[in-house]
Amino acid sequence: MLKVEEQQPVEFSPALIEKFGEIIGRYPQGKQKSALLPMLHEVQAELGWLSTVAMDKVAARLDIQPIEVYEVASFYTMYFLRPQGKYMLEVCRTGPCCLVGAEKLMNHIEDRLGVKEGEVTPDGLFSWRGVECLAACGYGPVLQIGPEYTFYENLDEQKVDALIEDLRKK
């Protein structure tokens, strides 16, 4: 099991700090809070998840209260409030994908990785979860892997096995 060290200090890379400036520049003067969602995506891409310490630093950069960051991070499904596996397999579990076998595929992934939905494999490499409609219903079953959100379509058990093997070798 991964140990969550909530108070671990967080350092943003210079590239990330520069990116913050670029994002904030997209909005009118005084409306910098609009940058919150894109900034949280950038932070998560760099750190893998959003710790309280990291969210507090974002709040300070945007000159807003920490609670304004927490309430947003906990509302939207894409932000991870605890560490996940390096590769988070997010499988669409909504109607149209289920018509073409998404539920069977999720059972297979659970067996294959040996961890339940939302858990992390002991080597820290994988987690998986079912997510709601990913807007690719004609190409189901589908899954995506952050932080790039690479997209895999028309999946079956063999394709998922091959994908997991590829990721292991990376």
Partner 1 sequence: MARKLLLEHINVPGINTLDVYRQKGGYRAVEKALKTLTPDEVVEEVKKSGLRGRGGAGFPTGMKWSFLAKPEGVPRYLVCNADESEPGTFKDRYLMTHIPHALIEGMIVSSFALGANTSYIYVRGEMMPQIRILERAIAEAKNAGFLGKNILGSGYDLELYVQPGGGAYICGEETALLESLEGKRGNPRIKPPFPAIAGLYGCPTVVNNVESIAAVVPIVNDGGDEYAKIGIGRSTGTKLISASGNLVRPGVYEIELGLPVEEFIYSDEWCGGIANGKRLKATVAGGSSVPILPANLTLKLANGEPRLMSYESLSEGGFATGTMMGSGGFIAFDEDQCIVRNTWNFSRFYHHESCGQCSPCREGTGWMEKVLHRIEYGHGKMSDIDLLVDVSKKIEGNTICPLGDAAAWPVASAIRHFRDEFEWHVNEPVKSLDTNYGLANYAEPIAKAEVTTGN
Residues annotated within a binding site: 92, 97, 133, 137
Residue list for the binding site for [2Fe-2S] cluster: 92, 97, 133, 137
Q: Which of residues 125-144 bind partner 1 (CB under 8 A)?
A: 131-140, 144
In this structure, the chain runs to a length of 170
Q: Does 57 bind partner 1 (CB under 8 A)?
A: no
Q: Does 48 bind partner 1 (CB under 8 A)?
A: no
**CB distance 36 to 73 below 8 Å:** no
**CB distance 88 to 145 below 8 Å:** yes
Element housing 4 (H / E): none
CA atoms within 13 A on the CB side of 94: 12
Q: Does 116 bind partner 1 (CB under 8 A)?
A: no
For residue 33, give the DSSP letter. Answer: G
**CB distance 118 to 160 below 8 Å:** no
Sheet containing 143-145: order of strands: 126-131, 87-92, 143-145, 150-152
Among positions 18, 122, 151, 156, the unique one binding partner 1 when judged by CB under 8 A: 151
In the bound state with partner 1, the residue whose beta carbon lies nearer, of 16 and 122, is 16
Q: Does 149 bind partner 1 (CB under 8 A)?
A: yes
Using the rule CB under 8 A, give the single segment among 4-12, 70-78, 117-125, 157-165 that binds partner 1: 70-78
Give the interface with partner 1 as residue ranges (CB under 8 A): 26, 28, 31, 33-38, 40-41, 62, 64, 68, 71-72, 75-79, 93-96, 98-100, 131-140, 144, 146-151
